[in-house]
Amino acid sequence: MAAYDPATDPVHGSGWNSAARWGGWVWREPRYGDFFRTCSFCGCIHPEDLAAETAGDGNCRVCGKHGWSACFEGQSHAGIKEAVQAGKLDIGDEERTRVLAMADEHQYDPGGWYASWADQKYGWPHKLYVEGLEPRDPSLLHVLSTTNRDPGDGRYVAAAALTPEQREIIRADGMLRDGEEPDGWYLFEPRSTLHAKFYTAHLADPRISQDVKDSIQRVSGLRFTFTDDGRVTWQRWEEAA
């Protein structure tokens, strides 16, 4: 990165938050529990690693609804369905029929990864959260929660009782700096899904093939165009004729 030239970097080379102040950026090797590389500057999942994963088709495998919103709105929450079945709510026949037709509460499962857009705080769709990525090893332990006070929950392990293996998991999860020692109580459990984010600025990278870019844009629902003067436009994704 010593020879980094921001003028030749269409991804993080310009703007108020340029990677120039850090001497550039690189693709980091996968972190503990992950299978994908990430950008050292913004934490974006590598486009090639994301495109290699199975993408969802939008149809929930549990309820058949298309899209997260339709899936969420079409299922029973807070025990409403159970209350209607037990006759605890005084509602009309039409509403009762609607509620009883709802699916039981479940996680949206479109059969692969899907995009959840972040707020456009910079005025454009700059970031999406990658949902639905499954760990390669579903039994691998992580620190899912930590607290400074005894939670009174037998699943938590006090710092003084940590095994060498548990200490290593804490460090591998990036929860301790060099020289620091564990403190408090820790909950160790496997992760059912992995967390990743994708910054659409990486679609401007000429080193990434168009096929890889298109596979991500297709799932995101948007197509982006980056110009040489640093501008970006976007439109609804539509398959080429």
**Could you tell me if residue 78 is inside a domain?**
no
**Could you tell me if residue 207 is inside a domain?**
no
**Could you tell me if residue 48 is inside a domain?**
no
- The count of structural domains within the chain is 1
* 197 CB-near residues (< 8 Å, 6+ apart): 43, 44, 45, 118, 127, 128, 129, 130
- The pLDDT of residue 241: 67
**Could you tell me if residue 171 is inside a domain?**
yes
**CB under 8 Å, gap of 24 or more: what pairs does 27-33 form?**
31/172, 31/174, 32/142, 32/169, 32/172, 32/173, 32/174, 33/135, 33/137, 33/140, 33/142, 33/172, 33/173, 33/191, 33/194
57 within 8 A of 108, measured Cβ to Cβ: no
β-bridge mates for residue 145, sequence order = 187
| Residue 170 backbone phi and psi in degrees, to 5 | -60, -45
Give the chain's end-to-end CA distance (angstroms, integer): 41
- The pLDDT of residue 2: 58
Amino acid present at 17: N
- CB neighbour burial string for 136-156, b if at least 16 within 10 angstroms, e if fewer: eeeeebbbeebeeeeeeeeeb
- The pLDDT of residue 74: 86
Cβ of 25: how many Cβ atoms within 10 Å?
19
Rounded distance, CA 122 to CA 232, Å?
12
pTM: 0.86
**Could you tell me if residue 205 is inside a domain?**
no
**Could you tell me if residue 177 is inside a domain?**
yes
**Could you tell me if residue 178 is inside a domain?**
yes
Rounded distance, CA 34 to CA 53, Å?
13
Domain range for 154 is 141-190
Q: What are the pLDDT tens digits along the chain (241 aa)? A: 458 999 999 999 998 899 999 999 999 999 999 999 999 999 999 999 999 999 999 999 999 999 999 999 888 776 777 877 888 878 888 887 777 778 888 999 999 999 999 998 888 999 999 999 999 999 999 999 999 999 999 999 999 999 999 999 999 999 998 889 999 999 999 999 999 999 999 999 999 999 999 999 999 999 999 998 889 999 999 987 6
Query: Rounded to whole angstroms, what are the CA distances from 148 to 33, 167, 185, 188, 190?
Result: 25, 16, 6, 15, 21
**Could you tell me if residue 22 is inside a domain?**
no
| Residue 49 backbone phi and psi in degrees, to 5 | -70, -35
20 within 8 A of 13, measured Cβ to Cβ: yes
